Structure 1
Amino acid sequence: MPDQKIDNLLNLAMDATPQERRKSGNLNIGYDPATRLWDVIIKYSGPESGLAGNGIQVVPLLGGYAVVTLPDSEIDKYSHRAQVEFMEKPKRLYFELFQAKGASCIRTVQTGRNGLTGKGILTGVVDSGVDYFHPDFRNADGSSRILRLWDQSIQGNPPQGYVTGTEYTKEQIDEALALGENQGRRLVPSSDYSGHGTSVLGIAAGNGRASDGVNQGVACESDLLVVKMGIPRENSFPRTTELIQGIDYLVRQALTMGRPMAINLSFGNNYGSHKGDSLLETYIDMVSSIGRLAICTGTGNNGNQPLHEGGTLKQGQTRQIELSVSSREPTLNVQLWKSYEDEMSIYIENPSGNRIGPLDEKLVPQRYRLGNTDLLIYYGKPGPYHLTQEIYIDFLPVETYVDSGDWKIILSGKRVRGGEYYLWLPGGNTLNRGTGFYEPRAYGTLTIPATARRVIAVGAYDSLVDSYADFSGRGSRMLPYLKPDLVAPGVNIVAPVPGGGYRTVTGTSFAAPFVSGSVALLMQWGIVNGNDPYLYGEKVKAYLRKGARPLPGYEEYPNEEVGWGEDVIIRLH
């Protein structure tokens, strides 16, 4: 019987064949086939000393969490250790890509005799890296504003307590800057190949030196901490194991320095119940109460994409959920989440009209073949941290591609109490155009970790026309608390790009750093300037909500699209 201290996806991956894992776009995430080692996130209790072992590497995190690297063959045995409470497979993360400072009232609070600039506050980002040569991250004397840079992709000298990457100090970065581009990048060879992290950090805290201050970021005098995710493996997408270590590192740095910090996360993913109960989300909620900090994240860009479906099924009722699969789709997966107390018969029908079901409610992998597509299914149960039940369906091609056309997932209510059900497809533009639900649901399209309770979840609006951006992820009643918290400019934002220039960017990735910068300004006003020494954590969120401005077209606040409204940096009083 599968181990219920292990999450559903890892249980399925352990039982899947090597061929099934290779064909799936999901099952091998976190696994290195060259070394046959897994990276997993665990929640544990008791001393750290008993976590490691022969061939097992452990990075203890704050609050009883850890990232463990261990052989494929040891996972089941390791999960039975008394200290291990739960084990979770890594998930792939995606960028939340898809005139603004004036719209957010940033200029007003940055200027004047008592102008706020983030001075004395740390701005931390976990992202794709940074172009540390960019003038916007350098002081007037040419030295760096970056105090620490941990590049997880360069092996050599990891930070104390971690086992991957290389940590660069301000002194090393300053030495590299003094040497110039050619020699300096040999000393500190960290780069931002996508430019995403450089743009995010520039919006939050760039000083605008490359544009004579025209494109100045929000917390333009804050000190910077940067984590570049991305341990080189089979693909270049970062994973939740890297993100959780990056957050842990930033929090420990702030504690060591004894300084307040605003953290920005502009990555997300679609895998999970979206109820704030994954180990990543519970870790973020826990760590948000350590030290003086606040964590901001974008809500994702799935609001206008056909990736989410849901509804309410009554007893005796049948619902047919149609899923279009475009041609040349190499693989896809569907998550169906429902209440455990609701009993439903579940059937799957392929484009030719052939049907399987009802699916067995057993904790074992189920395998079916419909046409030229294999279905690998796991009918899970609730876990120690999950109240809801997941049915995971992997569509694997018999040859090269999944059968294209109109697939159907059919739900029939047997014994129903609440009846709510929700389905998600993978995000991050990994599916071909034309693949998606026929009747998608915009509500509930927040990406994880924007669903964590204690983060400040930031959606996007278009500041040029003062209207909500329809791509921005929306909250829903499935969460026991309302999200998003507020919105910020996220359309056609001018931001730094590697090489010293600027570009125009769009997405909630770039709305979130407006709020991260605003958090730094609030902390400066409260903590550094002595107006409110306790202005951090949930109190910052409360101030931002109170100061939010309504957007045209909405009468009821808060709501699932814009939360409490537009970030206007707060009415300080």
Structure 2
Amino acid sequence: MNDNERFKIISDDFADIVIEYNNNMSYFERFGEYSYNLINDKYAIIHIPAEALDENAIRNFGYFAIPKCYGLLTYLKEQVEREYTVRSFPEYNLTGSGVLVGIIDTGIVYTNPIFINADNTSKVKAIWDQTIDSGRYPEGMFYGTEYSQEEISHALASETPLQIVPSTDTIGQGTAMAGIAAGYQSEDNGFSGVAVGAELVVVKLKQAKNNIMDFYGIPQDTYCYQMNDIMMGIQYLMNLSRRLNRPIVICVGLGSSQGSHKGEDIMSNYLTESATAAGIAIVVAAGNEGDTSHHYFGEIVPPEPYDLVELKVGPLDRYFSMELWGYLPNVVTVEIINPDGDSVAVLRPDFVGQRNYTIEYQEMIIYVDSYISETYSEEQLILFRFKNIPEGIWRFRTSGTYDLISQYHIWLPIRNFLTSETYFHYANPFTTISIPGNALNILTTTSYNPISRELSESAGRGFTASFVPKPDIAAPGEHILVPTIINTFIPLSGTSLASAFAGGISAGLLEWGILQGNMPGMNSISIRYFLTNSAVRSNEHLYPNPGWGYGLIE
């Protein structure tokens, strides 16, 4: 990548794919003249012409290479009887002092008083705003604009700060997470962040490209973020941490339902590997898919010949994708039946490896990509991409392998990308942790109501599709008083807020472990151990628990 080619990173005339090159630069020769940008010495992004992202893209580049799309994990509940106020932990004398807290999200309203030091300088160490194009990008990133703490503090001294540092948060989730994790106390509102002594580093993600949103059938007016931009944001935070020689907590409050839910995909592997480094704590949200009816678990037990999946499609959801993942060695055959009861197509697996089909029915098109063994998960995958699907109850008759028990999962997109009128009948609330929450080594945080001490209904449930216990921990995430983009405070809910709470506690642990010399090699794995080992557990549950993980923190 160079300055003459970097326009491709943000241009909708080019699509992105993510590859694993393993520090082998000759690997890029197979992509000819396509431009590429390195994430680290293992992963890279290839920028291909947008027209290459067509019905054959997965066959040509692989399912794993097409960036997955992530959405926000915060929401406003209609009825809030009482809100919960986050507090710091002075009794432990740990404030996160000297630790960085990284937020990869929608940005930050840095002018909010809870992010301003007593001397009127900013507690935000740096901002990388991917949405502002300039030549002042972070080293090796080639897009966006980086603002230093000095520049932000200079802006705060001005009557028009946004004319000096024009980065802000127009959505709110990033500001809410930053406030919970490390915001100063607001006495008038009874608010305090958890790690008030930590400094913030913020990555404001750019919106996903239209071409990838069209590819998956995601509405254009939806807040949506690409996997590769998130990976670049994580890498930026780790690079900055090493350059400053300071430990960092990285909070990811975004989620996707695209993938095997085994923790075996490019994003999950990247996090699993990154979490082993000393001084790095990675905290991710478990997602809000527990009550959406967007997951179906099927089991075909001989002599029963088939299972029947019912999908209710709402009138506004004409374009979306759906993924079926089956457990090998059993393979699943799928017959698609329309709302009138007519058979539209039968998808029979073969052992070619990967096939793609285009099914046309009246005004509808279904693009189907079928794998006997997907590259990373080594499981059967059938990806459906519906274009102009009629509303009604669609049925999928699944049959298995002769006398073997066949099991499979089907996932719809996360709730942000569909209306509430599209869902499975007989849905299963388990195995609904949003990706990348199924990754190993990281701290996957689910949400509970700290007032009623009940698990949030929306919280994603475990375990992973490979039966690994997840989530790890439950943190306050319902009716949480948070800062807004207009410098007020309102109660919001969602596992992204729970991850910010756990991120603040992790900052205190890094202060104790690394900066105070008690555990110089502390990383995500050790923080996960400390928090799961010391979690509060109830006699009413067995642990690890698919809802609560290993217990709650408070």
Which TM-score applies when normalising by structure 1? 0.85
Q: Which residue of structure 1 lines up, in the alignment, with residue 104 of structure 2?
A: 126
Native 8 Å contact 1:316 1:412 kept in 2: no
How far the C-alpha of 1:417 sits from its partner, in A, is 4.1
Decide which of 104, 114, 119 is 1:141's aligned counterpart.
119
1:506-545 equivalent positions in 2, closer than 5 A: 506-545=493-532
1:121-169: CA deviations, max 9, x gaps?
1111100000011111110011001111000000001100011100001
Q: Which residue of structure 2 lines up, in the alignment, with residue 24 of structure 1?
A: none
2:347 is the alignment partner of 1:359: yes
Q: Which residue of structure 2 lines up, in the alignment, with residue 202 of structure 1?
A: 179
Decide which of 198, 215, 218 is 2:191's aligned counterpart.
215
Decide which of 353, 369, 373 is 1:378's aligned counterpart.
369
2:70 is the alignment partner of 1:93: yes
Rounded Cα–Cα distance in structure 1 between residues aligned with 2:530 and 2:377: 31
Q: Which residue of structure 2 lines up, in the alignment, with residue 243 of structure 1?
A: 230
Decide which of 92, 95, 103 is 1:117's aligned counterpart.
95
Rounded Cα–Cα distance in structure 1 between residues aligned with 2:504 and 2:184: 12
3-state SS, counterpart of residue 272 of structure 1: coil
2:545 is the alignment partner of 1:559: yes
Pair 1:418–1:219, CA change in 2 (3 A):
farther
Q: Which residue of structure 2 lines up, in the alignment, with residue 433 of structure 1?
A: 420
Aligned residues, how many?
A: 522
Rounded Cα–Cα distance in structure 2 between residues aligned with 1:513 and 1:79: 35
Decide which of 23, 27, 35 is 1:57's aligned counterpart.
35
Decide which of 170, 182, 185 is 1:193's aligned counterpart.
170
1:169-318 equivalent positions in 2, closer than 5 A: 169-180=148-159, 182=160, 184-208=161-185, 210-211=186-187, 214-231=190-207, 233-234=209-210, 235=220, 236-317=223-304, 318=306
Q: Which residue of structure 1 lines up, in the alignment, with residue 132 of structure 2?
A: 154
Letter in 2 for 1:521: G
Native 8 Å contact 1:462 1:468 kept in 2: yes
Q: Which residue of structure 2 lines up, in the alignment, with residue 482 of structure 1?
A: 469
Rounded Cα–Cα distance in structure 2 between residues aligned with 1:278 and 1:416: 31
Native 8 Å contact 2:64 2:265 kept in 1: no
2:44 is the alignment partner of 1:44: no
How far the C-alpha of 1:212 sits from its partner, in A, is 5.3
How far the C-alpha of 1:32 sits from its partner, in A, is 9.2
Q: Which moved further from structure 2: 334-343 or 229-238?
A: 229-238
Pair 1:323–1:258, CA change in 2 (3 A):
same
Rounded Cα–Cα distance in structure 1 between residues aligned with 2:426 and 2:489: 39
Runs (5+) with no aligned partner, structure 1: 1-30, 569-573
3-state SS, counterpart of residue 48 of structure 2: strand
3-state SS, counterpart of residue 235 of structure 2: helix
Letter in 2 for 1:164: Y
How far the C-alpha of 1:344 sits from its partner, in A, is 2.8
Rounded Cα–Cα distance in structure 1 between residues aligned with 2:73 and 2:58: 33
How far the C-alpha of 1:33 sits from its partner, in A, is 11
3-state SS, counterpart of residue 40 of structure 1: strand
How far the C-alpha of 1:522 sits from its partner, in A, is 1.1
Rounded Cα–Cα distance in structure 2 between residues aligned with 1:123 and 1:531: 20
Rounded Cα–Cα distance in structure 1 between residues aligned with 2:63 and 2:208: 26
Rounded Cα–Cα distance in structure 1 between residues aligned with 2:341 and 2:375: 38
Rounded Cα–Cα distance in structure 1 between residues aligned with 2:320 and 2:23: 39
Letter in 2 for 1:386: S
Decide which of 334, 339, 351 is 1:346's aligned counterpart.
334
3-state SS, counterpart of residue 283 of structure 1: helix
**Identity in percent:** 28
1:152-203: CA deviations, max 9, x gaps?
00000110001110000111111111112x2x21111101010110001100
Which TM-score applies when normalising by structure 2? 0.88
3-state SS, counterpart of residue 238 of structure 2: helix
2:321 is the alignment partner of 1:333: yes
Letter in 2 for 1:142: N
3-state SS, counterpart of residue 101 of structure 2: strand
Rounded Cα–Cα distance in structure 1 between residues aligned with 2:112 and 2:322: 42
Rounded Cα–Cα distance in structure 2 between residues aligned with 1:80 and 1:496: 45
Native 8 Å contact 2:292 2:420 kept in 1: no
Rounded Cα–Cα distance in structure 2 between residues aligned with 1:86 and 1:305: 25
Native 8 Å contact 2:475 2:502 kept in 1: yes
Rounded Cα–Cα distance in structure 1 between residues aligned with 2:374 and 2:390: 33
Q: Which residue of structure 1 lines up, in the alignment, with residue 308 of structure 2?
A: 320
Q: Which moved further from structure 2: 193-202 or 525-534?
A: 525-534
Rounded Cα–Cα distance in structure 1 between residues aligned with 2:331 and 2:25: 41
Pair 1:457–1:232, CA change in 2 (3 A):
closer
How far the C-alpha of 1:332 sits from its partner, in A, is 2.4
How far the C-alpha of 1:422 sits from its partner, in A, is 0.1
RMSD: 2.7
How far the C-alpha of 1:527 sits from its partner, in A, is 1.8
